[in-house]
Amino acid sequence: MRLTRRELLRSALGAGAAAALPGLFSACSVSSKPTGSVASAAASTFAGKQFATPNSAIPFPKDFFWGTATASYQTEGAWNEDGKGESIWDRFAHTPGKIKNADTGDVACDSYHRWREDIALMRAMNLNSNRFSISWPRIQPYGPGSANSKGLDYYSRLIDALLEAKIRPFVTLYHWDLPQALEDAGGWPNHDTAGRFAEYVAIVAHSLGDRVSDWMLFNEPAAFVDLGYLEGTHAPGRKSLLDFLRATHVVNLAQGEGFRSLKATCPAARVGTAFSMSSCEPATSSPEDRLAAERAHAITNVWFLEPALHGRYPEALTFLPETAMRIKPGDMEKVRAPLDFLGINLYYRTIASAPGAMERVAHPQDWLFPVRMAGGQQGSKTDAGWEVWPQALYDMVMRITRDYNRPVIEITESGCACNNGPDANGIVRDASRVEYHREYLAALSRAIQDGADVRGYHAWTLMDNFEWAEGFSQRFGLAYVDFKTQQRTIKESGRWYAKVAAGNALPVSRHS
């Protein structure tokens, strides 16, 4: 879920304005791997020389991962079963007026009980990778403390079943559902939360690391700190400039600490983060708009990547509010995390411009971080109102490839809202979603041919689910979910995606 999940485009990126404010204020051995594992992919060069070439199709590299992505709060339900503690999303969704139509994730897709049905969907779509997240409060109900064995058992059963189905378990350790107890203790703005996260990572790695080889520490840190602590439209619902600034730094610390914690337990594990990204284009060719686009790129795309790989915050910003962010001596070494791969979540592009003099008078924050951000308007629109712009995926993948010395990349999310329901014959005809993935995959293939080392593509999402503040009003799934009966029905897009995955190639014809 994007503009609704990431309202920072509508707010001229308030986070960006904030970030420019001056000084205010056991080793694991993976014993069982699915077919097409990352281990074999890692041995490939992905230089365009190992492609299969089906007739009338655009080939993808050998051992490419075809998957979908989900998140625990959005699908699992069972919000208070088997010892699970309250999360910030449980608290937020139970607060009147926070979620469209008063929806909650209490039941969601009931995947906690129906995970076998979910794996059956994946098998029917010929997937070989399943990106899912672990619910922190299902493992540590009250934040710190011993592990909840029933929570670990649930994920252990899921992982075993995925491996049996020859599907890679691609695990996200944090997809936004912080234990409420840790929020009560200060949440992500609290320095101690970084250490709590490292402890949680160690527990999960110790329990599941013998079967999971590929991990993501965070999903979209830029989104959850902005929407949760500055905009207040997502859990925990705070609206504080200082909380936002402090949360960004603590999350960067947690990324570094979590990386080291996981590697200490599982040295051979491949560890990354799924970053929300959007290609940032200047509105005009003026020097002012070009500079604004670079500033937009800094806060949108690499605010949590530069610290991990280079031990610094992006240089496009004129100054860093170190005091407000509570950056302590030695912190910039602790934020370092030499990630094994970079996950990119991308849906659309961003148009950046410099505010004029009168705008700066009306909006003092524009003196501090002079950039206006908006979504593009030239492409077609999804049912969520987002522009479809496949070139954005190519541009973003190639920029990261150039700027970071050709890292291993996985597309960890991309997709569109298309709210079609079943017709009289029970068929969900979502042609616009088919076209979306066809065009974005064609752009991705061009990036691979041009030298990007991309190992996988994960459509958002496996099935319609709880879309955060939008509740159940937006449908992104390749499978339709009747939330009254929990019946799953593969959409036409899911059947099309199954053909792509089976052939490891993108059909050229729009009718195939």
Query: Taking the CA of residue 322 as centre, how many other CA atoms within 13 Å lie in the half-sphere pointing to its CB?
Result: 10
Is 360:367 a contact under the CB 8 Å cutoff?
yes
Is 491:478 a contact under the CB 8 Å cutoff?
yes
- In whole angstroms, what is the distance from residue 211 CA to residue 163 CA? 8
Is 230:15 a contact under the CB 8 Å cutoff?
yes
- In whole angstroms, what is the distance from residue 325 CA to residue 245 CA? 5
Which structure tokens are listed for 230? 């500055």
- In whole angstroms, what is the distance from residue 341 CA to residue 488 CA? 33
- Residue 115: enclosing H or E segment and its boundaries? helix 111-124
Q: Of these residues, 257, 306, 413, 439, which one is catalytic?
A: 413
- 25: three-class secondary structure by DSSP: coil
Nearest to 322 by CA among 310, 336, 312: 312
- Residue 117: enclosing H or E segment and its boundaries? helix 111-124
Query: Taking the CA of residue 389 as centre, how many other CA atoms within 13 Å lie in the half-sphere pointing to its CB?
Result: 21
Nearest to 203 by CA among 271, 134, 252, 256: 134
- In whole angstroms, what is the distance from residue 248 CA to residue 240 CA? 12
- Whole-angstrom CA distances from 125 to 188, 252, 464 are 37, 36, 15
- Whole-angstrom CA distances from 227 to 13, 67, 280, 284, 469 are 10, 27, 20, 28, 10
* Helix axes 287-301 and 391-403, enclosed angle (nearest 10): 80
- In whole angstroms, what is the distance from residue 386 CA to residue 1 CA? 10
Q: Any catalytic annotation for residue 413? A: yes
Which structure tokens are listed for 119? 């794996």
- In whole angstroms, what is the distance from residue 209 CA to residue 266 CA? 6
Q: Of these residues, 7, 76, 86, 220, which one is catalytic?
A: 220
Q: Any catalytic annotation for residue 220? A: yes
Active site residues: 220, 413
